[in-house]
Structure 1
């Protein structure tokens, strides 16, 4: 059994280690009532996974949660993945052992095994690859949360809407949804080469590279007299001030990530004078939705994985033991898609699985 873990926060290459133990009949405590044990095969490297390892300004260090005489608790990154149900606890009628499932939220997926509530083990539709299944939940569910925030902010009005990191995995989903729903979307990317890629995929949507000196002027020209009504921002940091300046009075900045560097003081945004709204959206709050709403979101994600697997693009795959190389790839600015960590497929891991 292999596990990637850390006992303190810091640079990934310095604090993460691979722990290997002899295979046991049951790795750790077995599944309890209403739980399933999943043998993981593929798990993504999300930006949020790395933030959890490195920490954020203002977050307490892991060691501060321990008493001085105690050993620091080992933490395992990852919240999403796919695998095969190894065993089930009492009162579990589905999924069944041998069935392929995607799991989220499942803290600790950078491991060979994880125990999750049976309700959070989502059956993988027939015909969906393991790689696509590993990306089936977090990003599509994030899209659903962003669109709800967008609808609330627009209040029935028309765009324009500006999104940052349009070439990212979530950005691609937003652009595809904008094409389907007729959303007036303006895309921001870092580089001219990135702009060309997005422009090829979505020729009807303006794409602007922030490396251009006049990128803000380009946004204003595309937005026209109405100005930008909503910004969907996964970058944050120093660019927040410039993004808020592009909003029309009364507009909304929806923040859902922190890929950028630097900081922006809240007072600099002129929230009161311009009537601006700042709203945070996090996939970690998805469980606060009702069971019915979550079921609708999961059904959307399953359908997307079946009908549009190209939107769940893979940038590269690495064995779990090669997590340092995977993280390095995940941080490349020009990558397209999501980097995956894999576990070799063995005969007993798919025994009885629905392929």
Structure 2
């Protein structure tokens, strides 16, 4: 079968022919229909992600597919069930083995491309805003990188929770995507002073930051007293140093959030969150945005779209 693999961190990933994997105890074999890409895939390709395996490995953290074989002692999900799963790797391939316990049945009305890019982006924003930041209706939520894979879901979920949402993105096209997701106010990070613009809108009570760098500093300066800043990631490549004096004087809380980490210490928090999100989707409250669906043979182009910030929402690979 085909698999898009990292064989050396000093060389670009490549599409290779590999042996069909055999599911082990606790695993299922999936016929993969779609694989959602995440910024973490870029970091894994470079060997800089916190959970990067040793080469060779297949990229692709989350997939939608159909169960076609069980490992020993596995009886569910049943053969033929369409599922979504966050496996951490192995998704950019024709087939893959994944833990049976992590597979979630996909609603009939949810397309494979949507299901493949749903879990990480929506799960990250939902759990970060509900459990960690405890966003309340009426508060002002500032979303940085608001047209990206997780940022756009934060705009949508924040609005669904009753917040006033300020979206920060680069360029009119990306801001238009954030507006369509429900943003109340738009700030162009390329042409505007983000700190001044947010303060003119009354400041931020909660900041959702998957970007880091200069935008983190600008957002910190625009925080209201007792604001919460959620650190999601560092898409800018710049991990900011936090000035503790500002945090102290304004009673600001800086919150770290790593969605995948909950698999190791509180899996129920993830499953409860995803169950609520699936219900929201079924009720028509969520409208996932996919900017590109790209065949597996062009997987390198898909990564390039993300690396050069040309995508909005999700990029999805289809074998």
Same fold (TM over 0.5): yes
**Distance in structure 2 (CA, Å) of the matches to 1:308 and 1:60:** 34
Which secondary structure does the structure 1 equivalent of 2:57 belong to? Answer: coil
**Which residue matches 2:259?**
283
Q: In structure 2, what is the Cα distance between the partners aligned to 1:182 and 1:237?
A: 28
Instruction: Indicate the larger mover: 139-148 or 301-310.
Output: 301-310
Counterparts of 2:56 and 2:158, CA distance in 1: 42
Question: Per-residue deviation at 1:46?
Answer: 0.9
Give 1:42 deviation, angstroms: 0.9
**Alignment partner for residue 184 of structure 1, among 164, 168, 178?**
164
Change (3 A) 1:298 1:208: same
- Is the alpha carbon distance of 1:231 and 1:291 closer, same or farther for their aligned partners in structure 2, counting shifts above 3 Å? closer
Name the CA shift for 1:175/1:265 in 2 (closer, same or farther; >3 Å). Answer: closer
Displacement of 1:337: 2.6
Larger Rg over CA atoms: 1
Equivalent pairs counted in the alignment come to 319
Task: Give the TM-score taking structure 1 as reference length.
Answer: 0.79
Give the C-alpha shift of residue 169 in structure 1: 3.2
Identify the range of structure 1 (132-141 vs 48-57) with the bigger mean alpha-carbon deviation.
Answer: 48-57
SS at match of 1:265: coil
DSSP-derived class of the 1:238 partner: helix
Partner of 1:82, secondary structure, is strand
Q: Considering only aligned residues, what root-mean-square deviation do their CA atoms show, in Å? A: 2.8
How far off its partner does 1:253 sit? 1.5
- Hey, what's the Cα distance between the residues in 1 that align with 2:96 and 2:306? 23
Shift of 1:268: 7.2
Counterpart CA distance in 1 for 2:23 and 2:52 is: 30
Hey, what does 1:77 align to over in structure 2? 59
Alignment of 1:175-214 (within 5 A): 175-202=155-182, 205-214=184-193
> 1 or 2, which has the higher strand percentage?
2
Moved more, 103-112 or 234-243: 103-112
**In 1: Cα distance, 2:6 partner to 2:149 partner:** 26
Three-state SS of the structure 1 residue aligned to 2:118 is coil
DSSP 3-state at the match of 2:201: helix
In 1, Cα distance between the equivalents of 2:285 and 2:163? 22
Superposition deviation, residue 273 in structure 1 = 4.3
Shift of 1:254: 0.7
Which residue number corresponds to residue 53 of structure 1? 45
Q: Is residue 165 from structure 1 mapped to residue 130 from structure 2 by the alignment?
A: no
Q: 1:306 to 1:132 in 2, by over 3 A?
A: farther
> 2:195, 2:236 → 1: CA distance?
17
Give the TM-score taking structure 2 as reference length. 0.88
Question: Aligned in 2, Cα 1:157/1:135: closer, same or farther, shift over 3 Å?
Answer: closer
Extract unaligned runs of 5+ from structure 1.
Answer: 63-71, 344-355
**Structure 1 CA distance, aligned partners of 2:91 and 2:180?**
35
How is 1:1-355 mapped onto 2 (pairs within 5 angstroms)?
Answer: 1-10=1-10, 14-21=11-18, 27-28=20-21, 30-56=22-48, 73-149=55-131, 151-152=133-134, 159-202=139-182, 205-223=184-202, 227-267=203-243, 270-288=246-264, 290-308=266-284, 311-343=287-319
- Listed as ranges, the gaps of 5+ residues in structure 2 are none
